[in-house]
């Protein structure tokens, strides 16, 4: 029950991220009152709702998720690029340009 409640809070938070922006797992964890960014990652990995834009969440260095759904980081990159987010290499987003700080 507690796990599901945290997961729902993660999903509701991720839905607020605008297209063309990213946030980190740590930002979400901090906003939800925990320091466990890994649990945020577990919640996103368990997500089944296509309306939750999980592709907008990256790690603290801007790295894409290797275990993102379907084709891994390649699918996450495709979705971000479609929204106007440029990658610095095939696995990273420039957080100085694309980090959404309004969480």
Task: Output the CA torsion 26→101→4→12 (10° steps).
Answer: -160
**Residue 52 appears among annotated catalytic residues:** no
Residue 14's nearest CA partner among 45, 91, 3, 35 is 45
The per-residue pLDDT string of the chain (103 residues; one tens digit each, 9 = 90 and over) reads: 455 799 999 999 999 999 999 999 999 999 999 989 999 999 998 998 999 999 999 999 999 988 766 667 899 999 999 999 999 999 999 999 999 988 6
Beta carbons of 37 and 24 less than 8 angstroms apart:
yes
Distance CA 73, CA 63 (A): 9
Q: Which residues pair with 63 in a beta bridge?
A: 92
Distances (CA, A) of 98 to 7, 23, 47, 73, 101: 24, 8, 23, 17, 9
Q: What is the pTM of this model?
A: 0.90
Domains annotated for the chain, with CATH where assigned, are: 2-98 (1.10.10.10)
Catalytic residue among 10, 37, 44, 54: 54
């Amino acid at each position: 029950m507690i796990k599901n409640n945290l997961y729902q809070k993660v999903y509701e938070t991720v839905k607020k991220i605008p297209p063309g922006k990213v946030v980190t797992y740590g930002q979400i964890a901090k906003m939800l009152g925990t320091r466990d960014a890994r649990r945020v990652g577990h919640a996103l990995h368990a997500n089944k709702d296509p309306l939750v834009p999980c592709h907008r969440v990256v790690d603290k260095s801007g790295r894409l998720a290797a275990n993102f759904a379907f084709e891994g980081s390649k699918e996450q990159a495709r979705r971000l690029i479609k929204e106007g987010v440029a990658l610095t290499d095939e696995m990273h987003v420039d957080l100085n340009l694309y980090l959404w700080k309004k969480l």
